[in-house]
Structure 1
């Protein structure tokens, strides 16, 4: 397992990143934590439920979502980051925009999680390089309002690995320390449900890139489709067992972290996986 230079995280196992969406329209819990005070308290509850760090975002990236004005994103995100950081919680900021990342870092965030991998805002990579913080580089082909128009691949695993490797190379050549880069295959971003499953079946290919691997499958639509019955896809808030199963598989595949909405089951799963991996390695 590849680790990050973050001494506050216990990295002898896969870490659990809890999600706080300070948005009215996120697919899982849009509107639930729109008030900054409620969002911060939810972040603390995620830690109590087993999250090692908390990822705070103010712009939905669900398929079809529209961009958010920067001033509004800042209003949503920065107070929550500050409250959590002041409480001693390691915080990641989920944003594509350098201005938001900069103010979140000033407020105490320690990781920048950019679903565009630095491609949406040309100021992002120089900012992260200068700040010397970990940077999550996700596979990305376009903004949410059009990303599902870009699901054509010759071989989805080969193509996503190749495109992600090229983006990591570009980020590092622009000054980001390779030891601080985290890779994310971008499940659900310019991928069909079947393509998500194919990528999950080949997580070893992403781990082989030599950077910490983050897997973000929590509650996503392809899980709802898998678990569908005569009433239709499994509701979003009833996908936690499936999410925990993917957390277990990700941890066994050597992932650095999993990003989840409700950490309790996944926190248990990654600990079980760590014990199994230790036994397989000889104790």
Structure 2
């Protein structure tokens, strides 16, 4: 089975006949054809199947007031005692709300609220406790004019969050953990982010193994999109996340990051969550999570250069500054075409 990866570019000078990737800021005129067990081949984009080109170029459905004409920053709000980077800092309502509002002020277009840590080795949290943690946060931010995302894999928590005012559900299990989750999403008409993981948080980093990490992750997400569609969730309501750091070695993460633009062929916006993750420390020697934000920004910008629409981050102002500079350089370069 062939896979079609647009070779995304942000160069200000476009070749004649180049196509715009997902109606965003990247373009492509070549496609890498990949197949398991074979050497890849590069072909002109116009030679790809018509249905592939349609998925690569179609405008993605907006997320509430947010379109995908520019990258969007999702600020992380963990109201947990044990998250890997900021566990315990925002368990008090006043501190959590203050932090969320500061992230909004600093440029976060989405706030992702989580009441259960999914770091490697994290313990399961009962739904009742997760609801107790997240519900006051959602209610407190419901009128702040920002898209609210709820990071949960449990149907009961999702229902409570929807009643409190969330606009997006973010399921690290891609609807595979709770059999009732797909029905909740289908009935709600809210978008859902489906993330790839291998195993569960307790065991996912024990011995992750793939035949081909990039293509295996793609296949899994394609299968989960199919399951969501069968449950009544339209593809244009789905966002995909390749799940960097979730059941993957450093080598697996790098393999996926190098060809992130493959996931545009699924026809969905892409969310990238790499902020402060362990693989950055493994590659740079930054042992403390909060010392990894320069590496997080570097990987995030590499994702944007491949058309990633959402960056999920801890360090909102630093990320926004980096994105603004990248956009300014791209914009200045495009004006130079007329010289």
- The interval holding the TM-score normalised by the smaller chain is over 0.9
Tell me the distance in 2 between the aligned counterparts of 1:67 and 1:80: 21
Deviation at 1:118, TM superposition (A): 0.5
| Aligned twin of 1:34 | 91
Q: Distance in 2 between matches of 1:109 and 1:145?
A: 27
- Work out whether 1:248 is the aligned partner of 2:301: yes
Please say if residues 251 and 273 of structure 1, whose CA atoms lie closer than 8 Å, have aligned partners that are also in contact.
no
Give 1:49's aligned residue.
Answer: 106
Alignment of 1:95-110 (within 5 A): 95-110=152-167
CA-CA distance at 1:280 after TM superposition: 5.6
* Deviation readout 1:54-92 (Å, 9 max, x if unpaired): 000000000000100111100100110111112222100
**Bigger Cα displacement from structure 2, 182-191 vs 234-243:** 234-243
Say whether the 8 Å CA contact 2:107–2:317 is kept in structure 1.
yes
1:268 aligns with 2:321: yes
In structure 1, stretches of 5+ residues that fail to align are none
Note if contact 1:13-1:271 (Cα within 8 Å) is conserved in structure 2.
no
Q: Residue in 2 aligned with 1:127? A: 184
**TM-score relative to the length of structure 2:** 0.78
Counterpart residue number, 2:28: none
RMSD (CA atoms): 1.8
CA distance 1:162–1:243, shift in 2 (3 Å): same
SS at match of 2:160: helix
Cα separation, 1, equivalents of 2:266 and 2:310 = 15
* Distance of 2:201 and 2:61 partners within structure 1: 29
SS in 2 for 1:169: helix
For 1:277 and 1:186, the matched residues in 2 are separated by: 28
Q: Which has the larger radius of gyration?
A: 2
TM-score (norm 1): 0.93
Q: Which residue of 1 aligns with 2:196?
A: 139
Alignment-derived partner of residue 3 in structure 2:
none
Measured in 1, the distance between the counterparts of 2:201 and 2:174 equals 14
Question: Aligned partners of 1:10 and 1:212: how far apart in 2?
Answer: 10
Q: Aligned partners of 1:170, 1:149: CA distance in 2, in Å? A: 27
